[in-house]
Amino acid sequence: MSTTKTTIPSFELFAKDPETQARAGRIQTTHGAIVTPVFMPVGTQGTVKTLAPNELEDIGAQIILANAYHLYIRPGIDIIAGLGGLHRFMGWQKPVLTDSGGYQVFSLARLREITDEGVRFHSHFDGREIFLTPEAVIKAQEDLGTDIAMIFDECPPHDASRSQVEEAVRRTIHWAKRAKKARQKRDQLLFGIIQGGQFLDLRRTSLEQTVEIGFDGYAIGGVSVGETKDAMERVVREIAPEMPVEKPRYLMGVGTPVDFFWAVESGIDLFDCVNPTRYGRNGSAFTRLGRLVVRNADYAKDDRPLDASCACYTCRNFSRAYLRHLFNCEEILGHRLVTYHNVYFFVSLVHQIREAIRNGTFGQLKKEFLSHYDDSLR
């Protein structure tokens, strides 16, 4: 009689930068190990836009992010579960993290009503009424079969008053307790989310009470929602080092090349952001020197790759002139090739950061990278 070995999810640290909070570790999941720090390409609806799973593997992506709210809307959790779960449905056999839909509570404000019981939505797709509760969101993510699930949280806008943020923190804690109680799967990591806006005392209250509930990892939510870069960095630099050392730390929705350095320096382990795909579709490429607008007329006869130091498929085979031509002709291949480059650039940069932490050269890498990188458009 054969038995199936069940992987027990876990997290371990194996390197730390002596000068900062930067650290390198490993998250073990049922679909494989993730070495951190790590960037997660965003596949909101079960697909990283314009890229196939084999291309993501070639790029070196270890884990992708999908959104339970959007998959709930279409095609429906029951359909995905009936077809074998999200991994099989989308043809991706490495780890997947699902966001709960808490960000949609923020971004779809005109379509929803929040109470302590849950959130009543009018679907952005077809207008039908949907009622999401912390318990329903946990069940949806368990039915999807993903490796890391997020609790349902309330994300206040960046300009919310203190009283509004206090209410969001209270409600998020209330929902976190219900989510933890509703949890059934022990082979799926469950992360709590820290809210509190720009109020550091509320952030610390949220952190303390979320840690008391007890989760497999912790995320900083409610940043990159319209506040200044300085304000976001201030919150992360203050709160990240106070998060449990023995648990993975996730900074939600943040990701530019510059952000990676100060956030890793603060102790962050996981990132996600739509920047690589969004900018790629709009013809803007991230390079070692900064962002480059492919449509720019200056590149009409430019035979150089997007980034001479990049080893991705796009940079090995195509010129700026050709990519500009594709965008000007509205050829979808242009979107694909620049998106491929951008995702490769983000994944490989965080890989370099991880290796630098292991080798004791993080500070050197940061200094060298930032001395050349210019975030203004060219």
One-letter identity of residue 183: R
Residues 258 and 304 occupy one common structural domain: no
Residues 154 and 110 occupy one common structural domain: yes
Considering its fold, how many domains does the chain have in total?
Answer: 2
Residue 171 CB-density burial (10 A; 0-12 exposed, 13-18 middle, 19+ buried): buried
**What pLDDT is attached to residue 376?**
74
Structural domain including 222 reads: 10-273
Hey, what are 80's tokens?
């995905």
Specify if 4 maps to a domain: no
**What pLDDT is attached to residue 375?**
79
Specify if 34 maps to a domain: yes
Query: What CATH number does the domain containing 171 carry?
Result: 3.20.20.105
Hey, what are 277's tokens?
């795909």
Specify if 5 maps to a domain: no
CA–CA separation, 82 and 103 (whole Å): 27
The β-bridge relationship of strands 112-114 and 148-150 is unpaired
State the chain's maximal CA–CA distance in angstroms: 68
Residue 156, preceding peptide bond in cis (omega within 30° of 0): no
Specify if 377 maps to a domain: no
Specify if 292 maps to a domain: yes
Residue spans of the chain under pLDDT 50: 1-4
Residues 364 and 268 occupy one common structural domain: no
Residues 188 and 323 occupy one common structural domain: no
Residues 245 and 304 occupy one common structural domain: no
CA–CA separation, 375 and 233 (whole Å): 17
Residues 269 and 291 occupy one common structural domain: no
**What pLDDT is attached to residue 257?**
97
Residues 107 and 220 occupy one common structural domain: yes
Strand order in the sheet with 112-114: 112-114, 119-122, 129-132
**Residues with catalytic annotation?**
99, 272
Specify if 2 maps to a domain: no
Query: Would you list the DSSP string of 266-306?
Result: TT--EEEESHHHHHHHTTEEEETTEEEETT-GGGTT--S-S
CA–CA separation, 335 and 326 (whole Å): 8
- What angle is formed at CA 250 by the lines to CA 377 and CA 165, rounded to 5 degrees? 90
Specify if 367 maps to a domain: yes
**What pLDDT is attached to residue 108?**
62
Residues 159 and 302 occupy one common structural domain: no
Structural contact between residues 63 and 97, judged by C-beta atoms closer than 8 angstroms? yes
Residues 68 and 195 occupy one common structural domain: yes
**Last residue of one domain, picked from the residues 240, 273, 306:** 273
CA–CA separation, 23 and 102 (whole Å): 28
Residues 353 and 242 occupy one common structural domain: no
**Last residue of one domain, picked from the residues 225, 248, 273:** 273
Question: Running DSSP on this structure, what letter comes out for residue 42?
Answer: B
Residues 53 and 135 occupy one common structural domain: yes
**What pLDDT is attached to residue 122?**
77
CA–CA separation, 325 and 9 (whole Å): 47
CA–CA separation, 122 and 51 (whole Å): 30
Residues 40 and 96 occupy one common structural domain: yes
Alpha-carbon Rg for the chain, nearest whole angstrom, is 21
Specify if 1 maps to a domain: no
